[in-house]
Structure 1
């Protein structure tokens, strides 16, 4: 992709699944990658892989649900690694729980991780981007936030919020040269999906049902997502903002 070499990229939830695959792809294209994750050891592992392929990366352990800690981490990243050019809001977590079987403690956890964490890191990063008059933000949504998903009511609400938030940022910051777009994964083989299916029960039956529902005939893999993410972060997408693209194997086909 054009325009990624030498850029500083922050990927939240960068230690596993889609996040790790995205970090490695950015590094392959010559970007400096800040791997942000609560799990320091796992983040260090991703950085080791980046360095093994000749790339540049640093790991930052951050609790993104804590605003003050997040603001301090953004300052540290810029001090140690350079001005942030690209932010990928990938952090997320979910569990299969029908709404009437859930309660406020569960809602708070889901909202904090999937929505508040996005607000917490976008605010200080966007402040700096806006001052410089340049930047790319790519947030990972979900088609659950576009069409709903049984057992994921609060998660779906959060992802719908991420989509609306991203479009609003796109409008507010367009004149500052900043773009904001969303990539929505379909059913993707990650640790989060495994936990989701385990909680739902009859895991293999559910996996088979998901697979049959995908027109391309398989579940997504983490490596299926970075292409769309890097495109939206690149110079090739300089005239694209406020958009949502699904990477779902055709499971969802939104107009």
Structure 2
């Protein structure tokens, strides 16, 4: 998917951007002119490959910041570190995510705390940290990755569902505070995207049903997606790109499903 938007002169911080949806977002923002700050876990060789490919493909500056977003202090410090290297942050994409699947009686305390920290608290911390500079410049774009599970529930995902509901609430509140400051805040709500995190769930289902990964993936798609296919990360990135553009300056506080029609059917969600 090729959408052209001019982000020349902008700096984008994308959390959880070393793979999957976040990497697709970082690439498309760089392709459209933004310098990009990457954050997430990867090996040194993988990081070098990612940064080199972004540099070669887009000509934009790209750097990695290793801050652990499960730690509130590190999440808060991330914006300062990026600002020190790039001079500012114009676009903040809170995409980092974590998942754990267990029944409510067996759900471990540490996993509950980790999921809330990574999926929700980190977005609050980075938003709070970037706010003053966006306010002073009179321009800012904040996009939070939620989920179709920000609207409904799914058994055995108490931490994830709770956090993603919270992400939409945070998005709406921040949108109100930024409405007269030139700062927009929106959420994207993906359906099934075959990211590494989703692949683990497909693998677990394959083991449970004693079928191949491909067959299990198709069962997920057939059960949930009216389109009958996974959403491609590039489609999520295109939605984020639009929300970061001046064409979307009057769109704020929105939770945008990019879900292949899941929410139309009301079936099991991700």
Report the TM-score when normalising by structure 1.
Answer: 0.93
- State how 1:221-232 maps to structure 2 within 5 Å: 221-232=232-243
Which of 1, 4, 19 matches 2:22? 19
How far is the alpha carbon of 1:38 from its aligned partner?
A: 3.8
Matching residue of 2:104? 99
Report the TM-score when normalising by structure 2.
Answer: 0.88
Cα-Cα RMSD: 2.0
How far is the alpha carbon of 1:81 from its aligned partner?
A: 0.9
Deviates more, 1:186-195 or 1:216-225: 216-225
How far is the alpha carbon of 1:45 from its aligned partner?
A: 3.0
CA distance in 2, matches of 1:6, 1:113: 29
How far is the alpha carbon of 1:206 from its aligned partner?
A: 4.2
Gaps of 5+ in 2: 266-270
Residues 1:240 and 2:263 are matched in the alignment: no
**Structure 1 residues 207 and 71, CA, compared in 2 at 3 Å: closer, same or farther?**
same
Residues 1:5 and 2:8 are matched in the alignment: yes
Deviates more, 1:185-194 or 1:99-108: 99-108
Gaps of 5+ in 1: none
The answer as to whether partners of 1:40 and 1:60 remain within 8 angstroms in 2 is: no
CA distance in 1, matches of 2:180, 2:219: 45
- State how 1:150-169 maps to structure 2 within 5 Å: 150-169=155-174
Matching residue of 1:249? 260
The answer as to whether partners of 1:8 and 1:85 remain within 8 angstroms in 2 is: yes
CA distance in 2, matches of 1:97, 1:127: 39
CA distance in 2, matches of 1:149, 1:188: 17
**Structure 1 residues 119 and 43, CA, compared in 2 at 3 Å: closer, same or farther?**
farther
The answer as to whether partners of 1:95 and 1:196 remain within 8 angstroms in 2 is: no
CA distance in 2, matches of 1:43, 1:123: 27
- State how 1:30-41 maps to structure 2 within 5 Å: 30-39=33-42, 41=44
Which of 176, 183, 186 matches 2:181? 176
